[in-house]
Amino acid sequence: MSAARPAFSSALAHALKDALIAGIVAFGLFILLLGFLTDDQRGPLRLLSRPVLLASAVGIVFAGRFIVSVIYHYAAALRYWLALIWSMVCGAAIKFKWPLLAIMLIFAVIRIYYAPQTWPLTAVAVATVFIAVRFGLSAAFLMLAVLFPVAFYDNPYFLGIAIIALTYIMLGWGLNIVVGLAGLLDLGYVAFYAVGAYSYAIIAQTYGWSFWVCLPLAGLFAAFFGILLGFPVLRLRGDYLAIVTLAFGEIVRIVLLNWVTFTNGPNGIGSIPRASFFGIPFTAGDDGFAARFGLEFDPTHRTVFLFYVILALALLTNWVTIRLRKLPVGRAWEALREDEIAVRSLGINPTNTKLTAFAIGAMFGGFAGAFFATRQGFISPDSFTFPESALILAIVVLGGMGSQLGVAIAAIVVTASFELFREFEQFRLVIFGFGMVVIMVWRPRGLVSTRDPTAYLKERKTISVEHVAEGRG
């Protein structure tokens, strides 16, 4: 702090220079692709020029780089003040924890008084905050998840987003076993998702078995595919494994696209049997869910049911992962990520160990796929492209590899931001891609980058990230 900072004018000159260079580069980058539009609406290809677009794009880069340079110049000071303010806020929040909670409670009571119809939402919000203060973030998350349909029963749109978010949480947790724990880089995870979805759709349609029979079968099929793929490729290291899994994912997609007799090709499979409440369908008829339980028919019943199904599946994934980490097989996964040669020197079969990680990860991917199929009622190869794999991997890496809570937060952030940017439909993938770059530059090890030991003699100490390896494949 006390170190002499260059004068403001010199900082400004520096930033201006940076911005100028960036502007020139941006001009070079954009002149053809943004400055002109190839148009083939009428007849042969012709060019339209777009000088205004070009100028504004270059202008944005120039201004953006200028602002970033200035901020960067004062980064140390800025960080200092932000940290100070943050610690003061946190300190105050902890010190006046109970008064603050009391004030919140009063506000909640007032809100319920004036807007009685929204009481579930208010109550859930208050309960979540209390749980977070008393039992920590994970417990609050769990509680919020369980009570979510209560709070948002009137809002099918929110419920729908929550179901998508939970699907990604489950996929993220499934892939986390492979990438985060075992350190095997899998770029084709979506293949197992696809295998799960298609095997569910085909089994359910052909044999008419119920969701609860088809779901485990879909998981088993996906696990079987995991072993089938894993057996030959798991001796490959790091990047090679990544590319091979990517290739495998593409092969699965191309086969789904072209094996028309079996998968109906690009048209996909429609009218997949919907999940029923243990045999009772969610229909308006006399034998429907609503009629049987003496309720008025409401399509939200099905949504709420689906919500709890995916929540249960996700929690199952979480529970199994947490248990496995404390078992020899889970410790062997993490050891493998740290040092494969040492693992071999201790008499652990590396191939089998990797294979179990691959198969279990694939199985949860398959479960998620089956759920996806029954929720959508329609699947086609378009849902299982490489960007989907990249998205799931991004969730795992952004969350912090190996951290269950981090992966859950990342999945929620990614799904929510996708929804927020829905209005900018065309821009959102560009923004998403840049987001991946920025977060990697900002936190290469993800949001939660500590590791919890799986056993302890005296006390459980979290392990900081600098010691933890990330695997070579």
Partner 1 sequence: MEYFLQQSINGIALGSIYGLVAIGYTMVYGIIGMINFAHGDIFMVGTFIALIAFLILVAIGVTAIPLALFLVLLIAMLLTSLYGWAVERIAYRPLRGSFRLAPLISAIGMSIVLQNYVQLAQGARVKTLQPLVSGVHTLFDLGNRLVVQISNIQILIILTTLALMSGFTWLISATSLGRDMRACEQDLKMATLLGVDTDRTISLTFLIGAALASVAGMMYLLYYGVIDFHIGFVAGVKAFTAAVLGGIGSLPGAMLGGLLIGLIETYWSAYFSVQYKDVAAFSILIVVLIFMPTGILGKPEVEKV
Partner 2 sequence: MSGTPILSLNALTMRFGGLLAIDDLSFEAKRGDITALIGPNGAGKTTVFNCITGFYRPTSGSIRVTRDDGKVFALEKLPDFKIAQRVHVARTFQNIRLFAGMTALENLLVAQHNTLMRKSGYTVFGLFGTPGYRSAEREAIELARHWLAKTQLIERADDPAGSLPYGAQRRLEIARAMCTNPVLLCLDEPAAGLNPRESDELNTLLRSIKNETPASILLIEHDMNVVMEISDRVIVLDHGKKISEGTPAFVRNDQKVIAAYLGVEEDAVDQAEAEVRA
Q: Which does 457 bind (CB under 5 to 8 A by kind): partner 2, partner 1, none?
A: partner 2
CB nearer to partner 1: give 104 or 236: 236
Q: Which one of 1, 7, 52, 341 is in contact with partner 1 (CB under 8 A)?
A: 341
Min separation Cβ 217 and partner 2, Å: 20
Helix axes 156-176, 350-376, angle to 10 degrees: 170
Task: Rule CB under 8 A: say whether 79 interacts with partner 1.
Answer: no
Q: Which does 207 bind (CB under 5 to 8 A by kind): partner 1, partner 2, none?
A: none
With CB under 8 A as the contact rule, which of the stretches 12-20, 202-210, 269-277, 335-343 interacts with partner 2?
335-343
Task: Rule CB under 8 A: say whether 73 interacts with partner 1.
Answer: no
Task: Rule CB under 8 A: say whether 232 interacts with partner 2.
Answer: no
CB nearer to partner 2: give 268 or 400: 400
Task: Rule CB under 8 A: say whether 467 interacts with partner 2.
Answer: yes
Task: Write the interaction track for partner 1 spanning residues 241-280; mark x where CB under 8 A is met and - where it is not.
Answer: -xxx-xxx-xx--xx-xx----------------------
Task: Rule CB under 8 A: say whether 463 interacts with partner 1.
Answer: no
* 365, 196 Cβ separation under 8 angstroms: yes
With CB under 8 A as the contact rule, which of the stretches 35-43, 117-125, 271-279, 280-288 interacts with partner 1?
35-43
With CB under 8 A as the contact rule, which of the stretches 50-58, 153-161, 348-356, 370-378 interacts with partner 2?
348-356
CB nearer to partner 1: give 215 or 391: 391
Question: How many CB atoms are located within 10 Å of the residue 18 CB?
Answer: 18
Q: What is d(CA 435, CA 313) in angstroms, rounded to the nearest whole number?
A: 29
Size of residue set near partner 1 by CB under 8 A: 59
> Rounded to 5 degrees, what angle do the CA atoms 377, 209, 295 make?
65
Residue 362 tokens, joined: 């694939």
Residue 458 tokens, joined: 């005296």
Min separation Cβ 451 and partner 2, Å: 6
Task: Rule CB under 8 A: say whether 401 interacts with partner 1.
Answer: yes
Task: Write the interaction track for partner 2 spanning residues 428-457; mark x where CB under 8 A is met and - where it is not.
Answer: -----------------------x-xxxxx
- Residue ranges that bind partner 2, judged by CB under 8 A: 320, 323-324, 327-329, 331-332, 334-335, 338-339, 341-350, 356, 451, 453-461, 463-464, 466-469
Kindly list the residues in this chain that would bind partner 1 in the complex (CB under 8 A).
Answer: 25, 28-29, 31-34, 36-38, 40, 44-47, 185, 232-233, 235-236, 238-240, 242-244, 246-248, 250-251, 254-255, 257-258, 341, 386-387, 390, 393-394, 397, 401, 426-427, 429-430, 432-437, 440-441, 444-445, 470, 472
